[in-house]
Amino acid sequence: VDAAEAPVVVAALGRVAAVLRDLEEELGRLDAVAGDGDHGRGMLRGASAAAEAASTAAEAGHGAVACLREAGRAWADRAGGTSGVLWGAGIGAAAHALAARPAADPATRAAAAVRAGVAAVVALGGATVGDKTMVDAAEPFAAALERAAAGGEPSAAAWDAALVDARAAAQATADLRPRLGRARPLAERSVGTPDPGAVSFVEILAAVRSVVVP
């Protein structure tokens, strides 16, 4: 399984980097409202480094888990900024969760990987739902995948429903005031604009879905 999945990991991260290239400006604009405007640049740098690292690992004959682990390291090292460290940790934790369940069905493995990634972000960044961070989109996404996996729903429907929930949650962050991160000092100014990290989370998982789930 692990060796066969390595090309899927490489393709998914390539797709993520391509989507973030298209969104770079928009994410920068969102982050400039109350933050420092670098979210688009940082995410693109992180994802590009991650895609490259995964590709190098796959070419060296490593399996999917090792590719993901290298990708997480590269993302954290090269992105810069809070989101880069958090995404690096999240991807590393997702890799670990996949390694622990080689034989589970795809929906269960995906739900476990996403949950582990979100848990790592929460453990490291200390955010809870409502703080106006990526966690506001990530938590409902993980919960929806878990529900669907437990109910035996087919993966495509599960991912689509989870993305609908996460996208609504990301848009709903527009009404919130940031309680963490660089946008906090200018919290009032951010009201009316969604959290950039929540928006990028949704688009990244949509990109992953388009590659991983047929």
Q: Which of 142, 198, 202, 208 binds ligand ADP (CB under 6 A)?
A: 198
Residue 74 beta carbon to ligand ADP: minimum distance, rounded to whole angstroms: 16
Q: Which region holds residue 80: left if phi is over 0, alpha if psi is between -120 and 50, else beta?
A: left
List the interface residues with Mg ion, window 59-88 (CB under 5 A). 81
Q: Which does 126 bind (CB under 5 to 8 A by kind): Mg ion, ligand ADP, none?
A: ligand ADP
**CA-closest candidate to residue 196, choices 33, 13, 74:** 33
Residue 102 beta carbon to Mg ion: minimum distance, rounded to whole angstroms: 37
Structure tokens given for 108? 């269960």
Q: For residue 133, what is the DSSP state?
A: S
Residue 189 beta carbon to Mg ion: minimum distance, rounded to whole angstroms: 14
CB 186 within 8 A of CB 168: no
Task: Decide if residue 35 touches Mg ion (CB under 5 A).
Answer: yes
Query: CA distances (Å), 51 to each of 56, 116, 139, 195, in order?
Result: 9, 20, 24, 25
Amino acid at 187: A
Judged by CB under 6 A, the stretch of 15-23, 107-115, 139-147, 175-183 that binds ligand ADP is: 175-183
| Helices (H), ranges, 80-191 | 81-100, 106-125, 135-150, 155-172, 187-190
The angle at the Cα of 157, spanning 4 to 54, to the nearest 5 degrees, equals 30
Residues 6+ apart with CB under 8 A from 124: 85, 86, 89
Q: Which of 6, 12, 39, 176 binds ligand ADP (CB under 6 A)?
A: 39
Q: Which of 89, 110, 135, 149 binds ligand ADP (CB under 6 A)?
A: 135
Task: Decide if residue 170 touches ligand ADP (CB under 6 A).
Answer: no
Residue 122 beta carbon to ligand ADP: minimum distance, rounded to whole angstroms: 7
Task: Decide if residue 195 touches ligand ADP (CB under 6 A).
Answer: yes
Nearer to ligand ADP, 55 or 82 (CB): 82
Q: For residue 185, what is the DSSP state?
A: G
Give helix 196-212 / helix 39-59 axis angle, nearest 10°: 30
Q: Tell me, by CB under 6 A, how many residues bind ligand ADP.
A: 24
Positions that interact with Mg ion (CB under 5 A): 31, 35-36, 38-39, 81
Positions that interact with ligand ADP (CB under 6 A): 31, 35-36, 38-39, 42, 81-83, 86, 121, 125-127, 133-135, 180-182, 195-198
